Amino acid sequence: MSFIDARINDKVDIGFVGGPAWQTLVVPLASGRNRRRQEWAMPHHKYTVDYTTLDPTVQNDILAAFLACHGQMHTFALKDWNDYRARGQVIGQGDGAATPMQLVKVYAFGPARYVRTITLPVERTVRVFQGGAQVPCTVDRLTGLVTPQAPWLAGQDITADFDFNVRVRFSSDFFGFTRDSHVSAHTTVELVEEFGT
C-alpha cells in the first residue's frame, strides 16, 4: 500500500458528513460506577461524501480515483469540509538554529488539550510567523515539517496559519453510481482516515 499524492474531487454536495471517533473501553463496576480506558492514542476520522447530479467529468474523476487506488489498497488526500483550517497555532519555540518544526493543530476545552499532528498541509496556504513577522520557510507537504531559511530567533514562539488535508482510503472494495439521467448520476463515498502510508 502507498500514498497517492492527489486530493479526491472536492465538488461535494450539501450533506458532507465527517468527524473524529475515539475508542474507549467502558467497564461497568458493581458499585454502579464504571472504569474507562482509552484504547487509541489519537482519534480516527470517518467520512460520508455525497456527490449528487454528477456531470460526466466529475463522475470520471471519482471513478478514476477508486480504480487507481485499487479500492481500499492505497491512500490519498481529502479536504475535510468540517475541519481544514488552522490559524495562529503555536508549533514551537525558536532555538537559534534552523530546526524543522512540525505543523500541529491544538483543540482546547477548559484545561484539556488535544494536539493533532498535521502531515498533509496545503503548501501554498502555509504562513509561519515569529515575533509578529512572517518567516520564509520551506514546507514538506507530505510530512508537515516547516524549515526556516535562516535560524529561528531564540526564545520566541513560532506560530503558523495553514489549511490541511486528511489522509484517507475508501472503506470498501465496491463502488457504484446511481444513474439519474442519461447525463448525470449520484453516489455516496465512504472514507476512513489512515495514518502513515
The pTM of this model reads 0.91
pLDDT at 101: 98
Q: How confident is the model at residue 6 (pLDDT cuts 50, 70, 90)?
A: very high
Check residues 183 and 155 and name the one with the higher pLDDT: 155
Asked if residue 73 has pLDDT above 80, the reply is yes
| Residues 126 and 175 occupy one common structural domain | no
Q: CATH number of the domain at 188, please.
A: 3.30.200
Torsional sign, CA 98, 102, 107, 110: negative
Q: Are residues 153 and 172 in the same domain?
A: no
Same domain, 95 and 115: yes
Which domain does 50 fall in, by range?
A: 3-79+166-193
d(CA 10, CA 4): 16
pLDDT tens, residue by residue, 128-181:
999 989 999 999 999 999 999 999 999 999 999 999 999 999 999 999 988 877
Domain identity same for 65 and 44: yes
Query: CA–CA separation, 103 vs 145, rounded Å?
Result: 6
Looking at the 3D structure of the chain, how many domains does it have? 2
Same domain for 116 and 100? Answer: yes
- Give the CA angle between residues 185, 51, 142 to the nearest 5°: 130
Exposed, middle or buried, 83 (CB in 10 Å: 0-12/13-18/19+)? middle
65 and 14 together in one domain? yes
**Strand, helix or coil for residue 37:** strand
Tens of pLDDT along 14-41?
778 999 999 999 999 999 999 999 999 9
Residue 184 C-alpha cell reads as 448525470
